[in-house]
Amino acid sequence: MISYLLLSIPTAVKMNGFACLPSFTASDFFFGGLAKPGLTNNSLGSVVTPANVMQIPGLNTLGVSMARIDFAPGGLNPPHTHPRASEILFLLSGQLDVGFITTANVLVTMTICEGQIFTFPKGLVHFQQNNGNVPAVAISGLNSQNPGVQVIAKSLFAATPPVSDNVLARAFQIDTQEVDEIKSKLAA
Amino acid sequence: MISYLLLSIPTAVKMNGFACLPSFTASDFFFGGLAKPGLTNNSLGSVVTPANVMQIPGLNTLGVSMARIDFAPGGLNPPHTHPRASEILFLLSGQLDVGFITTANVLVTMTICEGQIFTFPKGLVHFQQNNGNVPAVAISGLNSQNPGVQVIAKSLFAATPPVSDNVLARAFQIDTQEVDEIKSKLAA
Amino acid sequence: MISYLLLSIPTAVKMNGFACLPSFTASDFFFGGLAKPGLTNNSLGSVVTPANVMQIPGLNTLGVSMARIDFAPGGLNPPHTHPRASEILFLLSGQLDVGFITTANVLVTMTICEGQIFTFPKGLVHFQQNNGNVPAVAISGLNSQNPGVQVIAKSLFAATPPVSDNVLARAFQIDTQEVDEIKSKLAA
Amino acid sequence: MISYLLLSIPTAVKMNGFACLPSFTASDFFFGGLAKPGLTNNSLGSVVTPANVMQIPGLNTLGVSMARIDFAPGGLNPPHTHPRASEILFLLSGQLDVGFITTANVLVTMTICEGQIFTFPKGLVHFQQNNGNVPAVAISGLNSQNPGVQVIAKSLFAATPPVSDNVLARAFQIDTQEVDEIKSKLAA
Amino acid sequence: MISYLLLSIPTAVKMNGFACLPSFTASDFFFGGLAKPGLTNNSLGSVVTPANVMQIPGLNTLGVSMARIDFAPGGLNPPHTHPRASEILFLLSGQLDVGFITTANVLVTMTICEGQIFTFPKGLVHFQQNNGNVPAVAISGLNSQNPGVQVIAKSLFAATPPVSDNVLARAFQIDTQEVDEIKSKLAA
Amino acid sequence: MISYLLLSIPTAVKMNGFACLPSFTASDFFFGGLAKPGLTNNSLGSVVTPANVMQIPGLNTLGVSMARIDFAPGGLNPPHTHPRASEILFLLSGQLDVGFITTANVLVTMTICEGQIFTFPKGLVHFQQNNGNVPAVAISGLNSQNPGVQVIAKSLFAATPPVSDNVLARAFQIDTQEVDEIKSKLAA
C-alpha cells in the first residue's frame, strides 16, 4: 500500500493503520468495484458498496472516499451514521426520499430525483429510501478515507455480545419480549 | 462572549457561531451549574447537565467541555452519539454498566465502580446504566466545546416532522402499529 | 445560509466567509444543478459544473463537495490543481485517460472505463481526457466545501495582470514571441 | 494496545507512537487509577494522577484524557502548561484559587467551590491552590490523549542538563547565587 | 483585510477574529517591518519584531508567520512559549546559545552560528542567548498566523492583577520577600 | 529520528513515514545546510536548498520547515506550488519580483527589497525573480515539515513517463511540435 506523503518519501512505513509500500503504481489509486450494481435481494432491498482505503490503498492520508448504493424499488438504506465523515450523495438514477436528523431532533428531509444532490452532516443519523417503482442508484462522496458506518438498528439489536434487553426496552419504551423479537429478526 | 484567540486580539468578532466580546472576565471561564444533582424523576431515571460553550462562553475555540450525568437507581442514559466528540467518563459515586458499539457491531462493555474511568470513541453509539441500589453520578470530559448529542430512540421515533412509519418499521423489522406505539410513548 | 454547527445553535452568524441563517430547510442541503450535461462546445471540449458551498449553503463546515465533469469526444479537462482538496472521480459513462503528477515528477496515469474510480491527491497537478468516440461524464467527490481550482495554463498565460513574458519564457524555455502567442490564444 | 480507527481494521499497526493490538477488550478503554487519593505529603502539598494514553491504550487517536489532582490544605499545583491541550476542571470537593495568565500578561483568576468548573486555554500558564482548611480534589478533562505537562519552575531550575545560571538570572532579574539556591531547592 | 479563502469569495466577512475585505492588493501580503534592526537597549538586550496576521492581513487562514529577533552582545530572548506554534530559527548573523526544555525536564541545547538552524517544538519553553561579542540577528518561521508568546518570568511576576506572592514563593521555593523583589524588577 | 510526541514517550516507533528514535540529541533539531549559498549556475539561475524533515529529523510532527533560495542576477525560481504548505518569504539580500496567482486567475505581485516579506497562500502557483544586478538570497518559512514542491513546467513537460503531447498541446494551445521542443529543453 502507499500513502500520499510517501509520494516523495522512499521508505516503507505504516500510517493510520495501513502499511505503505516503498513503490506504487496507478492501480493503487484505482478501483473498479463500483461498476456493477450491488445485489439488493435482501430484507432491506438495498446494498452499499464501499470504495475507501480498504479497497484503494492510495487513499491513505488523502481524506476522501466514495460508496455506491443500490436500491430495489421500495429499498431502504436504513438509519445509520458515519462517525468520521460528512456525505454528499448524487443520485445516478431513480428517485429517493432522503433525510437526516439534527441534534435538536429535527428531521431534514426531501425527495430527490435523478441527477440531484443531497448532503448529510458528519456523525448525524440519516437514511435514504427508494419510494419509486424502479431501482435507484446513488454515488456518495465522503470526507474520510475510512468513514466507518454504524447502522443503528443492527448496532443496537444485533451486537455481539448483545446489548441487554433492559437497556433497549427502556430506551425504546417497549417490553423485553418485543426487544427479543426485534433481536431475533435483525440477527437473521 | 470571548474566545481563546481573542485573549490577545482587541477587536470584537464572531467565531464558530458565537459572538466574542472585546473584553472578558474570569466568569467567562467559569460554570457553577454542575454543583447540584440533576433531577432524575423522569421515565429514564437519568439526566445530563451540560457544561459546554453554551454555558461557558470562554470555551469557544478551546475544544473541550464537560457534562454531569445523574442516575437514579436503575436509571439509564440511553444509547446516543456525540457527532463531534470522544468522551471520557469518571464515576463520582455509585456503579454503572457502560458500553459502546463499534462499527463492526461489537459491544464493548463492563461494569465500573466509584472512581473508575471508561472512554467512548467519537461518534459511536454508547450508553450507561445504573444497575445499583443507590444513585450514581458521573462527570464526563469531551474534546469539543460543542459536542452535540443525538439520543438514538428520540431522534428516530420523536423527530419533528416524524420519520415515516415505513422507514422505522423496515429498519427495526417491526410493524407500523408497533412503530406508532413507540412514537406515542417517546413523544410523551 | 446555514452551517452544520448551527444545527443546534439558534443565533445568526457568519463562518468561513459564508453567512449563516438562524433557520434552514432541506433545500439548503440540496442541489439540482448537476442533473443536466454541461455544454462542451468550447476549445477544450470539457466543462466542470461545481456543487460546493457556493451552490449548497448547508455544506458550510461539512468539508465535502462534488463536481460534474462533461467531456465531448476528445475533450480535455486540462492540467489543474485543487489547493484545498483531494479528489475521487467516478466515471458515469464513457472512457477517460486520467493522470496526476507527483512532486517527484512521476506521472501516475491509466485509462478508466464506465463505473471505475480514480483518485487525485490534494494539491497535485492532474487532468482527464476523453479519448473515446462518445461523450464521457464523471462525478467527483472532494474533501473540502470550497476546494478551489487552479487551471495551470490559464493561471500562467491568462492571468490579470499578466505574468511577465520573461518569467514564462524562462520557465518553459521558449521565446517571448511564443509566450505571446500562447497568451493570445488562452485569453480568447 | 488498540486505537479507535482499528475498531474496524483487522491489522496490527502502530500509531502516534503507540503500538496497536489486532484485538482489544473493554479493559483497554478502562482505568481505575483515579479512584484513590494521591499522596500530597510533598513540598507543594499536591499531586497529579494522569489518565491518558499511557494508562488507557484505547485512548489512542481519541483526542481526550483526564487527570485527578489532590491538594492538601494549602496545597499548590504550581504554574505549568499543557503544550497539547486545553483543560476543563471540575472541583470534586474543597475550594480552590485557580488562575491562568494570557499572552497579554493578564491574570484571569477566581475562587471556585465544590461542584464548580473553571477552564484553562491550551498552552497558557495556569495553576490551582487550595486555600481552604480541608483537602481538595479536582478532576480535569483535557482535549488530547497525550496532553503533556511542563511545570514552569521545575523545567527552568531543575532541568537536566541545567539551564545556565546566567539565562535564569537575567530572565528573573536575580543574581546567580539566588539562582543556585532555587536550583538546589527544586532539585531536592 | 483579506483571507486566503476569500481569494475566490466576493463577500465581506470576518474570520478568526480578523475582518476580511471584499478586495485586496499585493500589499495585504507584504510587510517591510523586519528590514531594520530592532532596538536592543533594554534590560535583556534583545527585541522581537513580529510579522504575523496583526501586521500582514493576508496571513489570515494561511497558518504561517515570521519574527525577527535582534540581540545585543550578551542579549537574551528569555524563556518563553508559543501556545499555538512550533518555531524554526535561522541565524542571520552572530552566534547563539539556543535551547528548549522537554516535558521530561530535559534541556535540549547547543550553540549555533551564522546560517545555521534550530527548531523549537510547539508549546515548549525555549530561549536564545547571544554569548558572542557582536550583535546577533535571527529570523524565525512559525506555523500559525497568530502564534502568541508567553514570556515566562513576565507572565508570572509581572501579571495584572499580580499572581499572589504565596503561589510564586511556593512554586520557586523562595520567600515572599524575594518574590516581591523579582516583581518590582520585572515590573520596571 | 525523533518526533515531538516522542519527547515524552520511551518507545521506538514510526510516524508520518519517518522512523522515530527512542533517544535524541540537540543535533536532531539542528541543520547547518543553509549557511552557504547554493550554486545558481543552472539554466534558471536559481536554486532552492530545503530544510525540512528530510534534513532535520526532529521536525517530524512539528509542522514547520524552512528553505533557502539563491538567485543569480536575473535568476528565476519558476512557477511552482507547495501542495501541503503556505510560505512566508524574507529577503536576506537583493531585490525580487514576487507573485502568486489566485484561483480567479488574478496575479498578486510586487517588487520587494532586502529585509522585506511576502507571503504565498497554500497550494497556489507562485514564483520569484531577481531583476536586480546582484545576487539575491531569501529564507522562507513553511507550515509543514514536508511541504513538497511541484515545479509546474517540469512536472508537465518533463514527467516520467511523459504527459502526452496531445494533452499539453491542447492545454497550452500550441502544436505538438512546440510541445516536443519544450519537452526536450526541460528534460536537458
Please state the separation of Cα E158 from the chain's center in Å.
17
Task: Tell me the nearest-neighbour CA distance from F77 into chain E, angstroms.
Answer: 19
Would the CB atoms of A18 and D13 count as touching at under 8 Å? Answer: yes
Q: Which of residues 33-72 of B touch C (CB under 8 A)?
A: none
Q: How many helices (H) and strands (E) does chain A have?
A: 3, 13
Where is pLDDT greater, at C5 or D154? D154
Is E173 in the same domain as E94? no
- With a CB cutoff of 8 Å and minimum separation 6, the contacts of C87 are A64, C119, C120, C126, C140, C141, C142, C147
- Quote the minimal CA–CA distance from F123 to chain E in Å: 10
Low-confidence stretches of chain A (pLDDT < 50) are 1-12
Tell me, yes or no, whether A106 and A61 share the same domain: yes
CATH number, residue D101: 2.60.120.10
Residues of chain D in contact with residue E97, where contact means CB-CB under 8 angstroms, are 164, 167
Q: What is the total residue count of chain E?
A: 188
pLDDT tens profile C34-68 = 999 999 999 999 999 999 999 999 999 999 999 99
Portion 141-170 of F in contact with A at CB < 8 A: 146, 148
Residue F12 covered by a domain: no
Give chain E positions within 8 Å (CB) of B13.
Answer: 14, 17-19
Query: DSSP secondary-structure letter at F26?
Result: G
The answer to whether A19 faces chain D, any CB pair under 8 Å, is yes
Closest by CA position to A77, among listed A103, A38, A34: A38
Range of the domain at A134: 44-149
Contact yes or no, C with A (3+ CB pairs under 8 Å): yes
pLDDT tens-digit readout, C62-80: 999 999 999 999 999 999 9
* d(C-alpha C34, C-alpha F88), whole Å: 39
In E43-185 the beta strands, taken as DSSP E runs, fall at: 46-51, 65-71, 76-81, 87-93, 95-101, 107-113, 117-120, 126-129, 136-142, 150-151
Mean pLDDT of B113-137: 98
Contacts of D180 (CB under 8 A, 6+ apart): D165
Could you tell me if A175 lies within 8 Å of chain B, comparing CB atoms? no
B9 has a pLDDT exceeding 70: no
Residue B9 lies in a domain: no
Q: What stretch of H or E contains A110? A: strand A107-113
- Give residue for cell 545560571: D165
pLDDT band per the 50, 70, 90 thresholds, residue B14: low
Provide mean pLDDT across the span D15-20: 59
In a domain, D88, yes or no: yes
Asked whether C14 and B14 are in contact (CB, 8 A), the reply is yes
Same domain, E87 and E180: no
Cβ pair F174:C172 closer than 8 A: no
Question: Are residue D137 and residue D163 in the same domain, yes or no?
Answer: no
- Which of C59, C68, C118, C119 has the highest number of chain A CBs within 10 A, making it the mutation to test binding with A? C119
Determine what percent of chain D is predicted with pLDDT higher than 90. Answer: 86
Report the pLDDT value the prediction gives residue D10, as an integer from 0 to 100: 37
Residues 6+ apart with CB under 8 A from B10: B22
Question: Is residue D94 within 8 Å of residue D74, measured between CB atoms?
Answer: no
Query: Could you give the CA distance from residue D165 to residue B124 in angstroms, rounded to a whole number?
Result: 52
D104 and D168 co-located in one domain: no
Q: How far is CA E105 from each of CA D68, D105, D161, F27, F56, rounded to the nearest angstrom?
A: 21, 24, 9, 18, 22
Report helix angle F165-172 to F176-187, nearest 10.
110
Higher local confidence (pLDDT), D18 or A146: A146
C-alpha cell recorded at residue B72:
437514579
F124 and chain C: CB distance < 8 Å anywhere?
yes
Report residues of chain F scoring pLDDT below 50.
1-12
Are E141 and F116 within 8 A, CB to CB?
A: no
Is residue D107 assigned to a domain?
yes
| 3-state secondary structure string across chain C | CCEHHHHHCCCCCEECCEECCCCCCHHHHEECCCCCCCCCCCCCCEEEEEECCCCCHHHECCCCEEEEEEECCCCEEEEEECCCCCEEEEEEECEEEEEEECCCCEEEEEEEECCCEEEECCCCCEEEECCCCCCEEEEEEECCCCCCCEEHHHHHHCCECCCCHHHHHHHHCCCHHHHHHHHHHHHC
Q: Same domain, yes or no, for D46 and D123?
A: yes
Grid cell for residue B25:
472576565
Report chain B residues whose CB lies below 8 A from the CB of D110.
26-27, 30
Residue E92 lies in a domain: yes
ipTM tops 0.95: no
Cell of E105: 525536564
Per-residue model confidence (pLDDT) at position E66: 98
CA dist list (Å): E95 to B4, B170, E72, E132, E138: 36, 74, 11, 6, 10
| F17: its cell numbers | 513515514
pLDDT of residue E20: 56
Whether D127 and D99 share a structural domain: yes
Distance CA D106, CA E163 (A): 10
The answer to whether D97 and D38 have CB atoms below 8 angstroms apart is no
CB E62 within 8 A of CB F121: yes
Q: CB neighbours of E74 closer than 8 A, spacing ≥ 6?
A: E45, E129, E130, E131
- Are F174 and F144 part of one and the same domain? no
What's the grid cell of residue A88? 454528499
* Residue B22 near chain D (CB below 8 Å): no
- Residues of E within 8 A of C16 (CB-CB) are 5, 15
Rg (CA), chain C: 19
Beta bridge partners of C107: C101
In a domain, D65, yes or no: yes
Q: How far is CA C62 from CA A65, C6, C65, F130, in A?
A: 15, 11, 9, 42
Q: Are residues E173 and E134 in the same domain?
A: no
The verdict on A108 touching B (C-beta cutoff 8 Å) is: no
* Strand positions, DSSP E, F103-186: 107-113, 117-120, 126-129, 136-142, 150-151
Residues D124, D129, D135, D138: what is their CA dihedral angle, to the nearest 10 degrees?
Answer: -20
- Residue D154 is placed in which grid cell? 521545575
Inter-chain touch D166–E124, beta carbons under 8 Å: no
| Model pLDDT, residue B4 | 47
- Domain identity same for D165 and D118: no
pTM over 0.90: yes
Do F102 and F81 lie in one domain? The reply is yes
If you average pLDDT over every residue of chain D, what do you get?
A: 91
Q: Do B110 and D58 touch (CB under 8 A)?
A: no
Chain F residues close to E50, C-beta within 8 Å = none
Give the pLDDT of residue F2. Answer: 39
**What is the residue-wise DSSP string for B83-150?**
TT--EEEEEEESEEEEEEE-TT-BEEEEEEETT-EEEE-TT--EEEE--SSS-EEEEEEESSSS---E
Does any domain span residue A186?
A: yes
Residue E171 located in a structural domain = yes
Give pLDDT tens digits along chain E (188 positions).
Answer: 234 443 444 344 556 666 555 578 999 999 999 999 999 999 999 999 999 999 999 999 999 999 999 999 999 999 999 999 999 999 999 999 999 999 999 999 999 999 999 999 999 999 999 999 999 999 999 999 999 999 999 999 999 999 999 999 999 999 999 999 999 999 87
Which strands, in side-by-side order, build the sheet including E30-31?
A: E30-31, F117-120, F87-93, F136-142, F65-71, F46-51
Q: CA gyration radius for chain A? A: 19
Locate E28 and state its grid cell. Answer: 495585504
Query: In C, which residues are within 8 Å of E15 by CB distance?
Result: 16-17
What distance in Å separates the CA atoms of residue B37 and residue C27, rounded to the nearest whole number?
A: 42
How far D133 CA sits from the closest chain A CA (Å)?
44
**Average pLDDT value for chain B:** 91
Residues in F touching A3 (Cβ below 8 Å): 17
Among residues C123, C67, C119, the alpha carbon closest in space to that of F124 is found at C123
- Does residue D1 carry a pLDDT above 80? no
C-alpha of E51 from chain center: 10
- Segments of chain C scoring below 70 in pLDDT: 1-22
Which residue, E12, C22, C16, C13, is CA-closest to B18?
Answer: C13
Q: Burial of A94 by CB count in 10 Å (0-12 exposed, 13-18 middle, 19+ buried)?
A: buried
Phi and psi at D9, nearest 5°, equal -125, 120
Q: Are residues E86 and E105 in the same domain?
A: yes
Pairwise CA distance, residues A142 & F130, whole Å: 44
Per DSSP, the three-state class of F181 is: helix
- State how many domains chain F has: 2
Chains touching A (at least 3 CB pairs under 8 A) are B, C, D, F
CB pair distance less than 8 Å for A20 and F17:
yes
Distinct helix (H) and strand (E) counts, chain B: 3, 13
